[in-house]
Amino acid sequence: MPNLQILALDINQLSGKIPDFANLLNLEELWLDNNQLSGGIPTSLGNQSSLRKLRLNNNPLFGALPAELANLSSLSTFTFDSTHLCEPQDASFQSWLAGLPTMSSSNLSCIGLAGGDQAGEELVLSWSHLGEGVDHYEVYRSTCFSCPPDDPNFIKLEPDVPPPGAGDTVIFTDTTAFDVPINNYSYIIVAVAHDASHVGIYPAFIGAFNFDMVAGGP
């Protein structure tokens, strides 16, 4: 198996997460498209130095493309359309992505989050404002850490969050985060444009916070 060069597992109804292919040192083509693979992309894929083709499209994958993929200097084909995967917006990664001869994107952008704090018995989330096109933000919460952004486990919290009056940091306080029974929570932030469409990645997924909750604060 270490000499395997082409692994074509497309259209096989595969489910679960993408495994680690670290032992396939000579792998040149990896076809995983048109399956039911979920979760994110393992950072170890960035170590497949011989990889020329990587096809992940048409899977319910989600999260950010790992920065390690930019180490794939031999990659010429990369497809991740029809997924929930988002593109990091830093200049170096975007330059690498734009330089690929063949690339089909999800057209979803990852927006960096400023952070989150457990303050007393309230949970404060903060993230970077996307700019003038945003009318408001919506915050969704779930007890499922591994669920994709469009999973029904995510419940919308109130109220909607307006853009910041000054600066570029948006703040939301979850006043019920420590209500009994205390749960571990995953949050998703959604940006809504002035025309009511969503901004960012499907469904306007800006980013996620995961917290192990402890009564009384950190």
Q: Are residues 68 and 138 in the same domain?
A: no
Q: Report pLDDT digits (tens) over 27-38.
A: 999 999 999 998
Domain limits for position 157: 115-211
Say what the pTM is: 0.65
Q: Are residues 97 and 119 in the same domain?
A: no
Q: Report pLDDT digits (tens) over 77-123.
A: 999 998 878 888 788 999 999 999 999 998 777 766 555 666 567 77
> Could you give the percent of the chain with pLDDT greater than 90?
36
CATH number for the domain harbouring residue 30: 3.80.10.10
Q: Where residue 209 falls among pLDDT bands split at 50, 70, 90?
A: low
Q: Are residues 97 and 133 in the same domain?
A: no
Of 57, 81, 104, the residue at which a domain comes to its end is: 104
Count CA atoms closer than 13 A to 54's CA, side-chain side.
27
Q: Is the dihedral of CA 75, 88, 64, 42 positive or negative?
A: positive
Q: Are residues 99 and 51 in the same domain?
A: yes
Q: Are residues 60 and 125 in the same domain?
A: no
Q: Are residues 96 and 122 in the same domain?
A: no
Tokens of 87: 């593109």
| Per-residue pLDDT at 166 | 78
Report if residue 186 sits inside a domain.
Answer: yes
Q: How many helices (H) and strands (E) does the chain have?
A: 1, 17
E strands, the chain, in order: 6-8, 15-16, 29-31, 36-37, 53-55, 62-64, 77-79, 84-86, 102-104, 115-119, 122-128, 134-142, 155-161, 169-174, 185-193, 198-199, 205-211
Q: Are residues 157 and 176 in the same domain?
A: yes
Q: Report pLDDT digits (tens) over 28-71.
A: 999 999 999 988 899 999 999 999 999 999 998 877 788 999 99
Of 54, 82, 104, the residue at which a domain comes to its end is: 104
Report if residue 217 sits inside a domain.
Answer: no
Q: Are residues 128 and 184 in the same domain?
A: yes
Nearest to 29 by CA among 71, 74, 59: 74
| Per-residue pLDDT at 217 | 35
| Per-residue pLDDT at 211 | 52
Contact indicator for 202, 111 with CB cutoff of 8 Å: no
| Per-residue pLDDT at 218 | 34
Number of domains in the chain: 2
Q: Report pLDDT digits (tens) over 119-178.
A: 567 778 888 787 788 888 888 888 876 677 677 888 899 999 999 987 788 888 888 877
Q: Are residues 119 and 92 in the same domain?
A: no
Contact indicator for 82, 57 with CB cutoff of 8 Å: yes
Report if residue 218 sits inside a domain.
Answer: no
Report if residue 128 sits inside a domain.
Answer: yes
Q: Are residues 119 and 203 in the same domain?
A: yes
| Per-residue pLDDT at 159 | 94
Higher pLDDT among residues 111 and 16, named by residue: 16
CATH number for the domain harbouring residue 171: 2.60.40.10
Of 78, 104, 130, the residue at which a domain comes to its end is: 104
